[in-house]
Amino acid sequence: MPASASPTSERVDDLGHEVLLPGTVRRVVSLVPSLTEAVAASSDGLLVGATDWCTYPQGLRVDRVGGTKNPAVGTVVDLEPDLVVANEEENRAVDLDELRAAGVAVWVTAPTSVPEALVSLRRMLGACGLDTPPWLREAERVWAPPYEGPRRHAVVPIWRRPWMAVGRDTFGGDVLARLGVDNVLAGDPERYPRIEIGELPPHDLVVLPDEPYAFTAEDGPESFAAPSALVSGRHLTWYGPSMVEARALLTEQLARQL
């Protein structure tokens, strides 16, 4: 679904960086699993490289370029991408600066809420030369109705040894808020603070995603007095095609408490 293009175009990414793009983007490398899925689901053959952690869509066949925090910059450059898509939180500025210094166009996303993610995805895909795909229109429809119901107050751990949790200004925190679950650490100065379990604010739920730490029924709930809900980390924290099913799936998972 190529959009109309001029010989070159200059757009501004989520961080306000001016990105000079060729008239037609034919080769994209993604350094973020959710953006990999978004590009691959929107255009067959546009994506030529992705990180080792990019597992969706399943069976994706592209060159691998290392991790999100340690991409092989030389490998990325050798793929001659017209555009590299990245994320402020997932990727290191030093790697992105190195790519820019090598003459590679880099587009950085930085949404912290569901509405921001939907807009950010439209803009990122537009930078790739794509019109809005059907899955994104459906995600916008799915997330449009407001939540109306009782509210819970939760802690959302993302790691243990040491314990860390979701804090302020996160996409995952906003997803939960739109499902009736308020993050009790949303006012913390840190986005992902270390926590002491005995010093947590009052809460009636613990939300345990299966990534980045793979919490399970046997690993996590036993540490808390409040009931726990095991949820899909991909649906909680990825912004992309998974948003289409995330609202229904997470609602169901939150209702199943240990």
Q: How many domains does the chain have?
A: 2
pLDDT at 8 over 70: no
pLDDT at 6 over 60: no
Q: What is the pLDDT of residue 84?
A: 98
Q: Which CATH number does the domain housing residue 188 bear?
A: 3.40.50.1980
Confidence of residue 7 (pLDDT cuts 50, 70, 90): low
pTM of the model: 0.93
Domain with 15, as residue range(s), is 8-141
In a shared domain, residues 96 and 201: no
**Are 8 and 25 a contacting pair, CB within 8 Å?**
no
In a shared domain, residues 85 and 194: no
In a shared domain, residues 158 and 246: yes
Maximum distance among all alpha carbons in the chain?
60
Of 141, 170, 187, which closes a domain?
141
Establish how many alpha carbons lie within 13 A of residue 231's alpha carbon, considering only the half-sphere containing its beta carbon: 33
pLDDT at 5 over 50: no
In a shared domain, residues 43 and 111: yes
Calculate Rg over the CA atoms of the chain. Answer: 19
**pLDDT tens sequence across 63-107:** 999 999 999 999 999 999 999 999 999 999 999 999 999 999 999
**Residue at 207 is within a domain:** yes
- Closest by CA position to 220, among listed 164, 171, 170, 172: 164
Q: What is the pLDDT of residue 11?
A: 93
Average confidence (pLDDT) over 127-132 = 97
Q: To the nearest whole number, what is the mean pLDDT of the chain?
A: 96
